[in-house]
């Protein structure tokens, strides 16, 4: 029996995959390792694993009087933004998907899709000027911007997903005397649960971890988020205290890791459905 030969292309693909995994895992390992090492041990060998669990870095971070304010503010921004996104975007996409022949809705669809191709760097200065003039350098302004940005990807994914839902279900609800609002929340919305869960998870990960928009939009004298915690730690403890900085990173990533592990199956199911169906 002849042995199956491995193609050079397959070998190259495996090598690239392994290198990619290492590039992703190494910073994560380094963050956790340094967070649990004392300053002396980190100075002795920065890349080695900790010889024992050193928890003073976490105590130092959590003793910061601003620590809980960062987390609370990020929690409010994330929850409010994602809650509105989870209801508003499916409604917008439903209106567009059910009126494909009308020019107004067709324009809206292409308008939102085109928004995905505009680099954020192009919009940074105009966005800041607009937010400043509109007095949106606060939590409410940041939430509004998050919802606006989420529309582009959300409308695209939901529009494809709605094509898999038979129109007969909505027509039956209309015959039974159900209005538009009732049809959406009683018939349509429950059917797009996988895609809704996907949008919720993806936007939760993005909003919680985002640094650039809060740094650009928020007036940091009054409003802060967990993404700005590292900068505060550097001011408070010095740039050389890498243990405290890494500990703050570990604490910041715990909520999103838990969120992802609890609902990761919905990401694969919803994205695959939205990309293929219709």
Summarize pLDDT for 116-175 with one digit per residue, the tens. 888 888 888 888 899 889 888 889 999 999 999 999 889 998 988 888 888 888 888 888
Chain mean pLDDT for the chain: 84
Global pTM exceeds 0.95: no
Range 243-269 average pLDDT: 79
For the chain, percent of residues with pLDDT exceeding 70: 88
Q: Rounded CA gap, 190 and 272, in Å?
A: 18
89, burial (CB in 10 Å: exposed 0-12, middle 13-18, buried 19+): buried
- How far apart, in whole angstroms, are the C-alpha atoms of residue 214 and residue 208? 10
Looking up tokens 């439903």, which residue turns up? Answer: 94
Which whole number is the average pLDDT over 1-20?
A: 75
| Residue 92 predicted with pLDDT over 90 | yes
pLDDT given at position 221: 75
The answer, yes or no, to whether residue 238 has pLDDT greater than 60, is: no
Tell me which residue of 214, 212, 199 sits closest to 74, measured CA to CA.
214
Is residue 146 within a helix (H) or strand (E), and if so which, with residue range? helix 139-162
Summarize pLDDT for 194-220 with one digit per residue, the tens. 888 889 888 998 999 898 899 888 887
- If you compute the radius of gyration of the chain from its CA atoms, what whole number of angstroms results? 23
N-terminal to C-terminal alpha carbon distance within the chain: 45
């Amino acid at each position: 029996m002849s042995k199956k030969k491995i193609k050079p292309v397959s070998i190259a693909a495996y090598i690239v995959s392994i290198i990619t995994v290492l590039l992703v895992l190494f910073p994560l390992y380094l963050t956790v390792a340094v967070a649990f090492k004392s300053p002396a041990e980190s100075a002795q060998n920065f890349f080695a694993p900790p010889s024992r669990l050193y928890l003073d870095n976490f105590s130092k971070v959590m003793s910061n009087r601003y620590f809980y304010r960062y987390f609370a503010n990020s929690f409010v921004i994330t929850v409010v933004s994602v809650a509105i996104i989870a209801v508003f975007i499916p409604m917008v996409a439903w209106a567009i998907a059910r009126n494909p022949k009308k020019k107004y809705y067709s324009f809206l669809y292409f308008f939102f899709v085109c928004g995905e191709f505009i680099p954020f760097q192009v919009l940074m200065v105009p966005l800041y000027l607009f937010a400043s003039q509109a007095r949106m350098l606060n939590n409410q302004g940041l939430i509004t911007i998050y919802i606006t940005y989420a529309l582009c990807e959300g409308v695209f994914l939901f529009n494809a997903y709605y094509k898999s839902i038979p129109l007969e279900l909505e027509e039956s609800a209309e015959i039974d005397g159900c209005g538009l609002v009732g049809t959406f929340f009683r018939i349509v919305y429950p059917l797009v649960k996988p895609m809704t869960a996907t949008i919720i998870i993806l936007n939760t990960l993005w909003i919680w971890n985002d640094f650039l928009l809060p740094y650009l939009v928020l007036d940091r004298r009054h409003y802060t988020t967990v993404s700005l915690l590292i900068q505060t730690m550097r001011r408070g403890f010095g740039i050389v205290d890498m243990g405290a900085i890494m500990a703050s990173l570990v604490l910041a990533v715990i909520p999103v890791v838990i969120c992802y592990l609890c609902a990761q199956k919905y990401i694969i199911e919803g994205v695959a459905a939205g990309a293929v169906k219709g």
